[in-house]
Amino acid sequence: MVKLNKGQLQKTEKALLEAQKQTLLFVKPKSTEEPKAHQEVTTESVAKVEPIAQPQETAPRSIERPKPIKKLPVKKPVVESYEATQEQQKPEEAQAEQEGQEQSSSLFQAVGIISGTIRFNEYGKTLITLGNKEYPLYCVSNKNKRKAYEGLLKEMANTGVYNQRLIVYPRITHYPKKEQLHQVSFQVVGFDKGRLNEGVTAELEDFQFKLCGLWQFIPVCQTPCITVLKNFTPERLEYIKREDTSSLSRMMFMKASHVPVLWRDAPVKPFRFNPKAPKEQQGHASFVEIKARFLPGRDVFGFDSLIAPPTDKPPKFFKVRKEDKAEALRTISKIKAEKATRKDNQ
């Protein structure tokens, strides 16, 4: 072993002390720096978490955003339009009723004014002279409608004036053969004493008629006609549905009137049925409203003026069923046969 003197021992002790101090100095910074490093990590981790927490706060905002979208004006019309359609269902029904009421002013109609001298022939028939030709006057058996005719007879008997201005319905009788011309007569519905200045007497001139119906050809007439059908009413429907109303009564009640009209420059062509064409290609007649003048001697009506534009939607009307028509014709044939047998027996 090497023996050290006191001086060397003191130097070595100092060196050891300095070494310990250095080690202590070296360790202490570690202990102080490590927590700092740990704190820095935690702060960094917190810093990293904060941006993650931010989307969590924004996420509810993104969910809440659609709520105000429902209240945006873009979607309001959709709701309003739906509500409008729900609310407009009743107005539409009212409108349909109003349209029905409006259509009541555009009815199937044939009425006019004639003026001439009235006389009675040896058979008791009433005739009126229009131009150079005489035409029969008649009245229906209905008591209410017969009042006008009876009033006319009393007027002529009391005053002795036989030249009268009459309100009439035209009555056109067609025959099965085209070569056989139709016949014209008039139903008296009123007479003008010159006191009334309203209604038909004020609206129409002498020999002028208001014709409203379907513009078409019929098989038994070479001249196109305005077909006047029976207007629909609930009261008439009840009468037709009654059990005691026979098929013959139904047919006579709903019988149409075909008025021949000369109308060269008509805005629509008269409908003509084509038996060879399919049903889908047939088309239909237009509803027209015109004023026309009766042409005595020619037994037709000439177009005068247009009351309203033609339309494809006519007012409601009655039409005879084929079954009722066939049964009515059988009844008529039976009645004719009974009359023939009675004549033979006499």
Domain extents in the chain:
105-339
Please indicate, yes or no, whether the overall pTM of this predicted structure exceeds 0.75: no
Q: Which of 179, 170, 188, 277 is closest to 225 using CA atoms?
A: 170
| pLDDT at residue 79 greater than cutoff 90 | no
Using CB atoms within 10 Å of the CB of residue 74, give its burial: 0 to 12 exposed, 13 to 18 middle, 19+ buried.
exposed
Structure-token pair, residue 323: 């079954």
Mean pLDDT along residues 70-92: 34
The percent of residues above 90 in pLDDT, for the chain, comes to 40
pLDDT of residue 195: 57
312-322 pLDDT, tens digit per residue, is: 999 999 988 88
Mean pLDDT along residues 43-64: 44
More confident residue, 151 or 23: 151
pLDDT of residue 148: 86
- Place 28 in a pLDDT band, splitting at 50, 70 and 90: very low
pLDDT of residue 9: 62
pLDDT of residue 282: 85
More confident residue, 206 or 55: 206
